[in-house]
Structure 1
Amino acid sequence: MMDIRQLRYFVAIVEQGSFSRAAQFLHVAQPALSLHVRNMEADLGTALLFRSPRGVEPTEAGAILLRHARIVLDQMTVAEEEIRGHQNDPSGEVRLGIPGTIGQILAVPLITAVHQRYPKIRLRIAEAMSGFILEWMREERIDLAVLYGQADDHGIRTQHLLEEDLQFFGPADGIRPEPLAATGTVLSLAEVASMPLILPGKGHGLRDLLDDAADKGRHALNIVIDVDSYNNIKALVAEGLGYSILPENAIAAEVAEGRLQSWRIDNPPVSRGIHLAYSASRPMTNAVTVVLALTRETLRDLARTGHWVGARIADGA
């Protein structure tokens, strides 16, 4: 079976017109060239070269091989140039899954950054709850994901990039006769747990995190309404039907406008991790590799610049 090296040697011998000149051109010992030609002739069962007064020339079979060898070598050159160009200017489709709450913050700056830096990449963003996104990763329906929580299983690797603070909040005028601490101050988790709470239902990532935090502190959450939509939670709180706990960024606008008031939670503080996930079981295309790096960079920039309110870069990220 002939290989690319043998074809290169054969073309060089014909073009140089002698084994000795070809050996000098290729920086290969002349006996090695002669051995390669003999092996090729043995594989093909026919002579490929003969010596004439003008030097080494191809036989009829050799001329056929020369024509095809040049085509093959030209195609290899084109392939190498295309691969190098792809490395410098990646192209293709990249599928990214993100929770809707993160999509509101990340999607526009990330799409803009990809479009500016890598115009040949088509970035598709799919939004869903973290649990669904993790399933998409396991089923290889998406290439990358931003998740709440780690998922280092089933051939998936995650990088812990950010921590997002959660805050307790209520209607601007309060709903209980006894006064709370001044807005902007700190409440303990025990105090927060005793308030009438409007929270996502069980199975929602945020609810599971709060349940775990309460269980560790041996507190019982006083939940009066279950509703998964952040917008509905905020609307119900604004109507005075209860308090809630959401990421600081989710309520920042309403707090700034005076429609809600908020308190930090301490003893212990409550936050959740933001993780960037990718497949460890299959090779990443160059397009996926650069989008992974750009997503990491964009997430850090959002926290560093304060565009993601309440987020901070995780230790070691």
Structure 2
Amino acid sequence: MDLRQLRYFVEIVERASLTRAAERLNIAQPALSIHLKNMEAELGTALLVRSRNGLTVTEAGQILLAHARRVLSEQENVLDEIRNLGSEPMGQVRIGVPGTIGPLITVPLIEAAQRLYPKIRVTVSEGMSGFVINWLSEGQIDLAIVYTEPNEKLLRSEVILNEEVFAISQPGKLPGEHVDIATLAELPLIVPSHGHGLRMLIDDYFAEHGTVPRIAMEIDSFSSIKALVARGHGASLLPMHAVADELSNGQMEALPVREKPFQRNILLAYQSTRPMTRCQSAIHGLLRTTMIEVAQSGGWPGANMINAAG
């Protein structure tokens, strides 16, 4: 199996159609179909199955897809490195960030990158933290901001900041200026599903205090979580910056948890199985600096440098 076949396979999956992939690759559809059949014959298993929605990737296909993306990305990185020897860094760096952090980081990062590294094309994808870690594992992105240290041995991370998580509700729903864990355990909570960083943090925090959260809804969208809280369907646990607009216009209130500061780390992660290219190294350093500068300037409410937070 060669690089051309891997590239064909990735294109077929991303287009979910042999016809569209063939058009994109400028190859006849029958020829592309033969390439796919040859790959399946070589591996001894189906990689794709037809469904009403087009082509669906099998479990074996998912494994091949992840490896193919990594291999093709590495090939592109090698070519960029060789082309750029002796010149300023040039190429593409793909970054994944949680949706609540994107509005804080993306604009200052892109502006700084354009100023300092005009030949590097930075792309930013937003999603919930669990999705971002998967993107990094599968080689779809090069750098990621995450909330929990990845369990995978292929990934490496560094804690840059931490931030406090608050109980969020409609105004007047929570008594006093703090909320204790007993009260928190009785609230109907609207939270992300298992596998996302914030949900793992919530479950661990309650477990430390010998109780379990009362989960009313699992929603993998922060905008939907906030909308449901604002309409009085429950409470949630979110960092201050995620609800800054809602707090300022009086839609919500945020109370700290009484017993122990409810905090989470914010990490910068990358793949450890391959050395960074010059482009990736440059943007990695710039992203780290941008995160710290935004926090220090007050543009990231509730965030602190890890060594300054104690």
TM-score by length of 1: 0.67
1:130–1:236: structure 2 CA closer, same or farther, 3 Å change rule?
A: closer
**1:149 matched residue in structure 2:** 148
**2:303 matched residue in structure 1:** 311
Aligned: 1:83 with 2:78? no
1:194-233 matches, within 5 Å, as 194-233=186-225
CA apart distance, 1:111: 0.8
1:155–1:202: structure 2 CA closer, same or farther, 3 Å change rule?
A: closer
Which one of the candidate residues 157, 172, 191 is aligned to 2:183?
191
Classify the secondary structure of the residue corresponding to 1:269. coil
User: Which AA in structure 2 matches 1:138?
Assistant: S
CA apart distance, 1:186: 2.3
Taking the aligned partners of 1:168 and 1:82, their CA distance within structure 2 comes to: 49
CA apart distance, 1:224: 2.3
Taking the aligned partners of 2:300 and 2:210, their CA distance within structure 1 comes to: 31
1:139–1:111: structure 2 CA closer, same or farther, 3 Å change rule?
A: same
Aligned: 1:247 with 2:254? no
Deviations 1:179-233 (A, max 9, x none): 710xxx2222232222222222333321221011101111221222332222222
Classify the secondary structure of the residue corresponding to 1:186. coil
Instruction: Indicate the larger mover: 107-116 or 142-151.
Output: 142-151
Taking the aligned partners of 2:111 and 2:223, their CA distance within structure 1 comes to: 26
Q: Is the 8 A contact 1:138 1:154 kept in 2?
A: no
Q: Is the 8 A contact 2:84 2:90 kept in 1?
A: no
Classify the secondary structure of the residue corresponding to 2:161. strand
Taking the aligned partners of 2:265 and 2:295, their CA distance within structure 1 comes to: 13
CA apart distance, 1:290: 0.8
1:153–1:309: structure 2 CA closer, same or farther, 3 Å change rule?
A: same
Taking the aligned partners of 2:207 and 2:275, their CA distance within structure 1 comes to: 41
**2:175 matched residue in structure 1:** 180
User: Which AA in structure 2 matches 1:255?
Assistant: L
Taking the aligned partners of 1:201 and 1:287, their CA distance within structure 2 comes to: 35
1:114–1:260: structure 2 CA closer, same or farther, 3 Å change rule?
A: same
1:154-165 matches, within 5 Å, as 154-165=153-164
TM-score by length of 2: 0.68
Mind listing any 5+ residue stretches in structure 1 that lack a counterpart?
A: 1-78
Percent identity for Structure 1 against Structure 2: 38
CA apart distance, 1:301: 0.8
1:316–1:91: structure 2 CA closer, same or farther, 3 Å change rule?
A: farther
Taking the aligned partners of 2:292 and 2:127, their CA distance within structure 1 comes to: 22
Classify the secondary structure of the residue corresponding to 2:223. helix
Classify the secondary structure of the residue corresponding to 1:101. coil
Taking the aligned partners of 2:293 and 2:181, their CA distance within structure 1 comes to: 30
| Count of matched residue pairs | 229
Which one of the candidate residues 288, 291, 306 is aligned to 1:299?
291
Mind listing any 5+ residue stretches in structure 2 that lack a counterpart?
A: 1-80
**1:57 matched residue in structure 2:** none
Taking the aligned partners of 1:226 and 1:313, their CA distance within structure 2 comes to: 31
CA apart distance, 1:248: 1.0
Aligned: 1:114 with 2:113? yes
1:262–1:292: structure 2 CA closer, same or farther, 3 Å change rule?
A: same
Aligned: 1:167 with 2:159? no
1:230–1:140: structure 2 CA closer, same or farther, 3 Å change rule?
A: closer
Taking the aligned partners of 1:166 and 1:255, their CA distance within structure 2 comes to: 14
**1:124 matched residue in structure 2:** 123
Q: Is the 8 A contact 2:128 2:221 kept in 1?
A: no
Taking the aligned partners of 1:131 and 1:169, their CA distance within structure 2 comes to: 22
RMSD after superposition: 2.4
Larger Rg: 1
